[in-house]
Structure formats: structure tokens, C-alpha cells
Structure 1
Amino acid sequence: METDKFKNLRYRLMETETWPLEYMFKFITPNHEGKVEQIKAILPDNGQFSFKHTSSLKHVAITCVATMKNADEIIEITERVDRIDGVLIL
């Protein structure tokens, strides 16, 4: 179910994009408690992943570029990742 938190994202996706499209997911997460693995499990298997650690290794920036069929897919993935404590959605 769509939350108000991502209503603006859904609106922008529906207004500006044609489907399917290459979408870039970007998150920053603490580098502990298996959070990187939790996020990877939610993101599309066919995505191209890149990871960048902060100099202190306390956080990891995760980027995943994947072909998405529609805005609902993007919103669903973003909402699921948002439930993981400490994750910043970019």
C-alpha cells in the first residue's frame, strides 16, 4: 500500500518517465548487523550494484541500476528498504 511518504516520488515517476526504464536506487546504510545484505535481498536480482564505503567504514553507499516495469515496483522496493532501521534513501 502506498504511503504518503512516497506519494511525491510516485507522482514524479508517473509524470516524467516512460516504461520500462532504467532506475537508479541509492541508499546509505550503517555497515553492521547485515544491513547491506538485507538491502541487496530486496533490490532486483538483475540490477547492477556498486558499493562505496565511508573512510571510517561505518557506512556503505549502495547503488543499484535496474530495469523497472512501472512506478509501483519502484515504490514497493523503496518502501521495503525504508523499513530497515538507519537506512537513508537518496
Structure 2
Amino acid sequence: MNAFEKSEEFYKKLREQLYDTASWPSEYLYKFIVKSDSQKIAEVEALFNNLGAVINTTESKKGSYTSISINVLMKDPDAVIAKYKEVAENVEGVISL
């Protein structure tokens, strides 16, 4: 199984879990980790502009990495997954939690 197939399987399971655990539209909490670089942080934040997102950032103890928590109202699990994919495609080195 290649990396693409693994990620598609992951998103399929996530979609099922989201449908099973929430009624939609619903608030969703995204968590990402990026190197502590103001440009990388801004790239992630920009992808959530105009969505009414509440964004919090926390730098790691050593200051090497920054965690970004984004709470936003999403219309359905497919929208949640589309946003994960958009972040992964547009922000190099981002880790999605």
C-alpha cells in the first residue's frame, strides 16, 4: 500500500468517525504543528481566513515548533477533510494531528 492509499484509507475512516460522533454543521478543532516560522504559521492561518475561526498558537519549550489550534464551524465531514488536504498541499512540512 503506497502513501496515497494509506492517506485515503485514513480519510475514509475519519469521515465515518465524524459522521458517527457529531451532528453537522458542527464545531471542529484542527491541530497542526509547524516549525516556528512566522511565514509557516501565517500560511496555515490564511487558509482559515473568512471562516470565523478561532486560532491559538503555542510555541514549544525550545521554540523550535509551534502548535496551531483552530476551532471553526464546518458544514460536514467532507469539508473537514477537504480543509486537511488543502493545508497539507499548501504548507510544506506541516504535521496534522
Instruction: With the length of structure 2 as denominator, give the TM-score of the two structures.
Output: 0.80
Distance 1:32 1:3 in 2: 29
The change in CA–CA distance for 1:44 and 1:67 in structure 2 (over 3 A counts) is farther
Q: Mean Cα displacement is larger for which, 73-82 or 28-37?
A: 28-37
Structure 1 alignment gaps of length 5 or more: none
Find out whether 1:74 has 2:76 as its counterpart: no
RMSD (CA atoms): 1.8
Residues 1:58 and 1:41: Cα distance change in structure 2 (over 3 Å): same
Structure 2 unmatched ranges of 5 or more: 1-6
Q: Which has the larger radius of gyration?
A: 2
User: Alignment length, in residue pairs?
Assistant: 89
Q: Residue 50 of structure 1 corresponds to which residue in structure 2? A: 56
Give the percent of matched residue pairs that are identical in Structure 1 and Structure 2. Answer: 26
TM-score (norm 1): 0.86
- State whether structure 2 residue 31 is matched by structure 1 residue 32: no
Match of 1:86 among 75, 90, 93: 93
Alignment-mate amino acid for residue 71 of structure 2: V
SS of 2:62's equivalent? coil
Structure that is richer in helix per residue: 2
CA drift of 1:85 comes to: 2.2
